[in-house]
Structure 1
Amino acid sequence: MPQTLETLTRQMGSMESIHSVVRTMKTLSVINSAPYEQAGRAIEAYHRTVLSGLHGFIRSAGTLKLPAQKVNVRVLVVFGTDHGLCGSYNAVLAAYVAEQLDARQGAAPRIACVGAQMSAALADRAIAVDRVFLPPASVDGIGRLANLLTRYLDGVRLKAAPSEIAVDLLFIARADGGGQEVRSVPLLPLDTTVLKDLKEKPWDSRSLPTFAMKPTDLFRALIRGYVFASLFKASAEAMVTENAARLALMQQAEQSIEERLEALRSDANALRQSGITTELLDVITGFEALKKTRRRKPAQGGGPAGQALTLMEDGS
């Protein structure tokens, strides 16, 4: 069905409104990413501080001889999103979780999910969720979420006592080359290579650090700080990646809208030019018809009288 100039004008107005919204969302994605990146750098510094504390503790007190405990409970902490316009963020993560569960043997792990939409994506794959947490709405919410997750893991560990728990963090992170990838980070039990590296790492100062707390209490406090920093870092990285995904999607949408606007403008210009050409042809046709009418002389009648009148008019 051929489109009229009015229809094309309305479509261009609608596309320009959508283009304005997309540009606004693109700008917001860029603005929102900066605070989360700053939070990630800040928690990285805190993470190094905790590791320095563990380093000093190990150099001063040595590695604690903790009794080996069997892991009976596994927990997966999945960082999803409830914010829209970021593509198949939750669906990709849910597919990865399903693959991990299919590859695991033994009892199904308990899943702590960040985001109601992430929980729905897991439910679509028949994956039960033990606890759902609200994602942070701002940078200040990352600390709240990390505290809630830490308390949740403490509760799971107390219920599982005397057995130990194993915790893995699953989230989407930025990959090399500007892409994205699902990342699985083991959190608990603490990797023995970390303690081994800290034990073998030389102490820069001439004096060893001292402490007044009980070694076990201090070690547990440091481990709790390590867990909190890891949860905070994973949440901040997930938020940065979410905004990056939204930014990439908005850039694609902006390009598609601009191409559509260009096509609509081209169609409108062609239709407008066609209308102008038609009007000009009508004017020219009418003018030519009027010229022919004016050139054609009217009949003056037949016979000698008419001929005489004609000769008189010619003579005059």
Structure 2
Amino acid sequence: MSLALQIIFDALLLGGLYAIGALGFALVWGVQNILNIAYAAMIMLGAYAAYWVWTLGVDPILAVPIVMAMMFVVGVLLQRFLFDYVILGPHSLSIALTYGVNLILIGLALYLFTAEYRSIALPDHLRGSIDLGGAHLTNARIATIAIAVVLTASVWWLMDRTALGAAIRATRMDLEAARLVGIRPRLIYNIVAGISGALAGAMGALLAVIHSVFPAMGDHQLIQILIVLVLGGLGSMVGPLIGALLLGLVSSVVTAIWGGTYAVLAGTVLVLLVLTFRPSGLMGRKFYEA
């Protein structure tokens, strides 16, 4: 019983983090048709920003909205001065550009911060823990799950219940029709890039609370995000959430039984199975598959 509860809790933690990252990545991919490899570096920048804000005396949890605001600006700047030029180009062009940006940002992080692992010293209220049915739940991880749930619900509300969300969905579905009803695609692209950057920053900031911070930390997270999107599929807000929870559950089960070394292998096998039997993903739409 205790092992099952621990697995469920770990799955919620991983699923929540992956869901935040997957939603941010999927927004740019779905709306602008850009595979933003630099998203890995943006997660890393979010983690370093959280570490820097913490060194100024700010509580690690309170640092999350500050980091999100900072990364919103970074996302808009990258969109305005780089990504705008590859929106209508082939995937190979956007991949090459964003991969180059990713390498530059990681190189800058190595130059400024070195390869040294850095950790946030948690305050007393995050250092405690509770035992639930034999499962050990730390306060820091409980706070991380709560923030992940709030952010995921907020993105769903924005996309499904607001005029801005309708404008984003319209731009995603038919660019010319969106222009005809007065929507400004350039503004929508900037907002989407900003939201994506903010979510990458949130994921990085939350990772900084429970893990160490280092320049290449975003690369592994990006792989997990791509697995989540393949599992869940594009074209649905629910898809990335289901993919994130499924990957989190499988990773937690495999880690508990065989160790973390096999968790990545299990995710790869899961992706191969989904691609074989449902190439568009569990909740994907054929429009996006095409």
Class of the TM-score when normalised by the shorter of the 2 chains? under 0.3
TM-score under structure 1 length normalisation: 0.22
Which of structures 1 and 2 has the larger relative contact order (alpha carbons within 8 angstroms, sep 6+)? 2
Q: Which has the higher strand share?
A: 1
